[in-house]
Amino acid sequence: MTEITYLDAIREALTEEMERDPNVFCLGEDVGVFGGAFKVTEGLQARFGVNRVIDTPISEIAIIGAAAGAAHMGMRPVAEMQFADFIACGYDLLTNYVATSRYRTGLACPMVVRGPSGGYVRGGPFHSQNPEAAFIHTPGLKIVCPSTAEDAKGLLKSAIRDDDCVLYFEHKYLYRRIKGVMPAGDHLTPIGKARTARAGTDVSIITYGATVWRALEAADELAKANVSVEVIDLRTLSPLDDEAINATVKKTNRVVIVHEDTRTGGIAGEITARINEQCWEWLDAPVLRVTAHDVPLPNAPSLEDFVLPQTADIVAAAQRLLTY
């Protein structure tokens, strides 16, 4: 079995779904002839034609709005944000129109909005964002964040088939750094189900996206001191997999939530509140957060490294939990 990169896995998902369903089409800036800023859609226009891989003007409002309109008519659009940061320009369309359409009027919006998110790549404040927090807050939107190549493929295929709008935040740090062997057949990763990236008994690390790999590094580190760490990869941020969260809390009784996003208002707060509500009695220590600092993400390597969560931070948090 040959390994392919996380990036190729995304393209494979797009290719398979476009083969399977003629209603699936891609649209976005430079996705066609050029194959996208990161070459995710490379070759797709040559294969499927200009009507299935559409180069758009620089218009995030229109890209999202047009995807919604086409979705109403039974198409399955996959809209690309050149960088996930620019989804901010379509915030009104997504939160006010797309998220509410089924609820208000019964009109479905089966569409995917995907784009490269995340830092650790010296991208500076506008090419490194983790835009999930604002959308987790929006009923009507789903959000997935794959951390493995397998999930990059499986979640995108599920997202395309979902009957509602799924925001698919792929992590640009993982594009070419992570590889995997794709499961045979029609590989669908279910939306709403977390994954145990590593089983353990002493401390749980709940995370998603690029920091799954830092959590695994931290787990390796901690294993040297005989600390058994469980790493939960959320995969889907909306809806959250409460079952998986509760199970790991009840197993280890100690939790660190890790995210690359800034701390205040990030999803760790939500997860902490759910743990409080659902299994407070099982906690032997407070839930700790390891996250970015609350600043726009700066560009210089020294600054970015300081702001973003690092493996040592996760180790420190786990160690602190063990003092309780």
Ligand X SMILES: Cc1ncc(C[n+]2csc(CCOP(=O)(O)OP(=O)(O)O)c2C)c(N)n1
Taking each helix axis from N to C end, the angle separating 311-322 and 211-224, rounded to the nearest 10 degrees, works out to: 50
Query: Minimal distance in Å, beta carbon 37 to a copy of itself?
Result: 18
Residue 33 binds ligand X, judged by CB under 6 A? no
Region at 246 (left for phi over 0; alpha for psi -120 to 50; beta for the rest)? alpha
DSSP notation for 73-138? TT-EEEEEPSSGGGGGGGHHIIIIIIHHHHHHH------EEEEEE--SSS--TTSS--THHHHHTS
CA distance 159 to 165: 8
Looking at 127, 171, 187, 259, which residue is catalytic? 127
Binding to a copy of itself (CB under 8 A) within 266-285 occurs at: 266-274, 276-277, 280, 285
Of residues 107-136, which lie at the interface with a copy of itself (CB under 8 A)? 125-126, 133-134, 136
Report whether 314 contacts 290 (CB < 8 A). yes
> Which residues, 6 or more positions from 72, have their beta carbon under 8 angstroms from its beta carbon?
101, 107, 108, 109
What residues from 236 to 255 belong to the interface with a copy of itself (CB under 8 A)? 238, 240
Nearer Cβ to other proteins, position 185 or 301?
A: 301
Q: In this chain, which of 160, 289, 308, 314 binds a copy of itself, going by CB under 8 A?
A: 289
209 binds, among ligand X, other proteins, a copy of itself, none (CB under 5 to 8 A by kind): none
320 makes contact, choosing from a copy of itself, ligand X, other proteins, none, with CB < 5 to 8 Å by partner type, with other proteins
Q: What whole-number distance in Å separates Cα of residue 161 and Cα of residue 154? A: 11
Among 58, 225, 295, 300, binds a copy of itself (CB under 8 A): 295
Whether residue 127 lies in the annotated active site: yes
3-state secondary structure labels for all residues of 156-221: HHHHHHCCCCEEEEEECCCCCCCEEECCCCCCCCCCCCCEEEECCCCEEEEECCCHHHHHHHHHHH
Classified as helix, coil or strand, 7 is helix
Binding mask 13-32 for ligand X (x = CB under 6 A): ----------------x---
Closer residue to other proteins, CB minimum distance, 89 or 188:
89
Q: Which of residues 73-112 bind ligand X (CB under 6 A)?
A: 82, 86, 89
User: Which residues are marked as active site?
Assistant: 127
**Residue numbers at the binding site for ligand X (CB under 6 A):** 29, 58, 60, 82, 86, 89
**Residue numbers at the binding site for a copy of itself (CB under 8 A):** 85-86, 88-89, 91-92, 95-96, 99-100, 103-104, 125-126, 133-134, 136-140, 238, 240, 261-262, 264-274, 276-277, 280, 285-289, 294-296
